[in-house]
Amino acid sequence: MITLDLTLPDAHYPIHIGRHLLAQVDLLKPHLPIPSVAIVTNTTIAPLYLELLEQALRSAGVACRSIVLPDGESYKTWDTLNLIFDALLAGNCERKTTLIALGGGVIGDMTGFAAACYQRGAPFIQIPTTLLAQVDSSVGGKTAINHPLGKNMIGAFYQPRAVIADMALLDTLPDRELSAGLAEVIKYGLLGDAAFLGWLESHIEQLRARDPDSLQYAVKRCCEMKADIVGQDEKESGVRALLNLGHTFGHAIEAGLGYGEWLHGEAVAAGMVLAAATSHELGWLSEADVERVVRLIERAGLPVKAPNLGPAEWLRHMGHDKKVEQGKLRFVLLKQLGQAVISSDVGPEILQRVLTGGHITA
């Protein structure tokens, strides 16, 4: 097991990475103010792992309540969030009852947001069950639900007490979900670590084949980078925004198609290609650089062409991006591979070329 630490001005918590950690209650108990938890999961994960976690906790004297939600991005809504509150209130759960998120990014985001709101702040722990959640969404305390006009537009910054990344949980992850997680892994290489990007190019087949050592190294490196960035900028007022590489385009794809049509990682993958194409239009990346990005994303089993939303629809959805300032779009782009920057210098003619170019489906 590898343990990383994320240190913030008002919070400090461990990120445990290893295999078969789910039943190791000694990793959880130090973070429970009282021996009572509410496990939030979904209909896909519950049959696989909920009983194992419940039995481990109960054998250690911890009272458990479980809340099983429907699975999918389309359920990341107020109505589903209220199901968590309904269960907590019906169970007379106290402010010190710890919420445990057992699931992917949707469950992690909603559980964290519920914890931030319940009695004005209850503790919570992340146990991510997807690669995407292990390398990205479970770390850093960004919690939210979606709105029809924009993804993750309603939420809170609220840090977990611990993150338990059990690599064994990836054994049951569908191949499509694994590839979606690889999009976020590739993102880290592109935005800030050219050496890691090169390592990914050499190991992408091993990652898709679920080689345990390769997966653990990728999760470790991504969590190291995110912990460092979040430690510098918890509330995304500066450098943390770089973690949104590909997301301005990607979130527009998700909203434009209807949440759940494309997986988040698939939309981010196509979004990163569009970000690379925009960087090329600005003279920062060469055609060879863009092709290198496209090739790696293809090898990860991900889409490299975005759906044709139409320029007006693209702009409408990107206008709801959280990086918009004073009505002006800001993009995370690439000065070079391994170095991301935030830019508001993308003129309408450049954006028009990118959104009607070869990286958009006909």
d(CA 303, CA 294): 9
> Any catalytic annotation for residue 264?
yes
Only one residue has tokens 């559980």, namely: 111
Q: Which among 65, 151, 161, 247 is annotated as catalytic?
A: 247
> Any catalytic annotation for residue 295?
no
Phi first, then psi, for residue 360 (nearest 5°) are: -120, 135
> Any catalytic annotation for residue 320?
no
> Any catalytic annotation for residue 292?
no
> Any catalytic annotation for residue 226?
yes
> Any catalytic annotation for residue 161?
no
Question: Which of 293, 264, 87 has the alpha carbon at shortest distance from 181?
Answer: 264
Q: Which among 151, 251, 317, 322 is annotated as catalytic?
A: 251
> Any catalytic annotation for residue 240?
yes
Q: Torsion over CA of 153, 157, 159 and 164, rounded to 10 degrees?
A: 20
d(CA 43, CA 181): 20
Q: Which among 16, 73, 244, 322 is annotated as catalytic?
A: 244
Q: Which among 187, 221, 226, 330 is annotated as catalytic?
A: 226
> Any catalytic annotation for residue 20?
no
Q: Which residues contact 35 (CB under 8 A, 6 or more apart)?
A: 29, 60, 61, 62, 63
Q: Which among 65, 76, 151, 240 is annotated as catalytic?
A: 240
Q: With the C-alpha atoms ordered 207, 210, 213, 219, is the resulting torsion angle positive or negative?
A: positive
Q: Which among 16, 65, 76, 142 is annotated as catalytic?
A: 142
d(CA 151, CA 307): 17
Residue 292 CA: distances (Å) to CA of 119, 250, 304 = 49, 19, 12
Q: Which among 234, 236, 254, 281 is annotated as catalytic?
A: 236
> Any catalytic annotation for residue 142?
yes
* Structure letter (DSSP) for residue 325: B
Q: Which residues carry out catalysis?
A: 120, 142, 184, 226, 236, 240, 244, 247, 251, 264
